[in-house]
Amino acid sequence: MASPLRVPPGAPVLALRDVTASYGGSEVLALDGLTLEIPSLGHVALVGPSGAGKTTVLSLLLRFIEPTAGRLELDGAPFAELSIYDVRSRIAYVEQDAPVVPGTIRENVLFRVDAGASAAAGGIANGAAAGGAALSSDAESGMRQPGAPSFDDEAWEALAAVLLDDKVRSLEGGLDAEITETNMSGGERQRLAVARALVRRPDVLLLDEATAQLDGVTEAAIQRAIAGAASVGAVVTIAHRLSTVLDADQIFVLEAGRLRASGTHDELLGRDELYREFVAALRIGAASSAG
């Protein structure tokens, strides 16, 4: 198995180079010659109208689908030279409808999707990605260095990062509490999914932000988690919230499968009409949900 090349700081951890993609042999291109680089540190937000290709970018990065032309790279190495495991072991993915796995809090935080099983299930396209039934346990398979924190310590740390530790302590059994229909709200389930991603300490965190209205604590917790992960690695969000867009170090505006514009919020406000319209719509959404 090829191991990813190590590259100098500042080089992109992931890159799409002139990538074209379509689904099921369709002539309609989901991506049409897209080139973009994900820096190894910081927060990149993907924005653009419905159908612009944002989800397709994540599907390609996770190798749920393969490009029809062009190439993807991890640390400068073409995906074609890497195994699916090489790529996915570096990435954690939080999908939009945060799934929970039947079982305990501990299982939900420490278990992760088996990469091969997820690929076989078809990934994002059929909703089987991070919530798929085939799970493996870091706690069962991992080897710990002497003196390293225990798996439970890591679970508590990740729960604290998403402001769920007090909630879990309040449940009978704590980490051993079974998740039921009634003891976790939608926002708490979303935070649990983020905790599951954080506990892996991924080099790259991909997060498809929920479009549904989130409670204030959940929004703040996810914002904090993104900032924390972006300070030690790469974070790529499909941003649906103004706060997420404003926090991004770099924003890529996609339109019809192409890169329309990129830059910081201020730069794009100054030079891209579609971006201005997008931000205006988010502001209206934020104002109406606050009122």
Which residues on neighbouring strands pair with residue 32, listed in sequence order? 20
Selected from 13, 52, 135, 210, the binder of ligand ATP by CB under 6 A is 52
Residue 43 binds ligand ATP (CB under 6 A): no
Of 23, 92, 89, 51, nearest to 237 by C-alpha is 92
234 within 8 A of 44, measured Cβ to Cβ:
yes
Residue number, 72 or 110, with CB nearest to ligand ATP? 72
Angle CA 178–182–186, to nearest 5:
100
Residue number, 48 or 233, with CB nearest to ligand ATP? 48
Alpha-carbon gap, residue 128 to 140, rounded angstroms? 23
CA 218 to chain centre: 16
Selected from 12, 34, 54, 67, the binder of ligand ATP by CB under 6 A is 54
Min CB(144)–ligand ATP separation in Å: 38
18 token code pair: 């002139």
Q: Which of residues 109-138 bind ligand ATP (CB under 6 A)?
A: 125
Residue number, 54 or 241, with CB nearest to ligand ATP? 54
Min CB(7)–ligand ATP separation in Å: 28
Angle CA 260–39–86, to nearest 5:
110
Name the segment binding ligand ATP (CB under 6 A); options: 54-62, 77-85, 134-142, 277-285: 54-62
Name the segment binding ligand ATP (CB under 6 A); options: 48-56, 170-178, 215-223, 227-235: 48-56
Min CB(107)–ligand ATP separation in Å: 29
Residue 48 binds ligand ATP (CB under 6 A): yes
Angle CA 89–204–124, to nearest 5:
75
Residue 53 binds ligand ATP (CB under 6 A): yes
The site that binds ligand ATP (CB under 6 A) totals a number of residues, namely 13
Selected from 3, 23, 71, 273, the binder of ligand ATP by CB under 6 A is 23
Residue 274 binds ligand ATP (CB under 6 A): no
Which residues on neighbouring strands pair with residue 112, listed in sequence order? 136
Alpha-carbon gap, residue 78 to 100, rounded angstroms? 33
Angle CA 162–165–166, to nearest 5:
120
Name the segment binding ligand ATP (CB under 6 A); options: 43-51, 98-106, 160-168, 170-178: 43-51
Using DSSP's 3-state secondary structure scheme, residue 16 falls into strand
Alpha-carbon gap, residue 177 to 191, rounded angstroms? 16
Contact residues for ligand ATP, defined by CB under 6 A: 23-24, 28, 30, 48, 50-56, 125
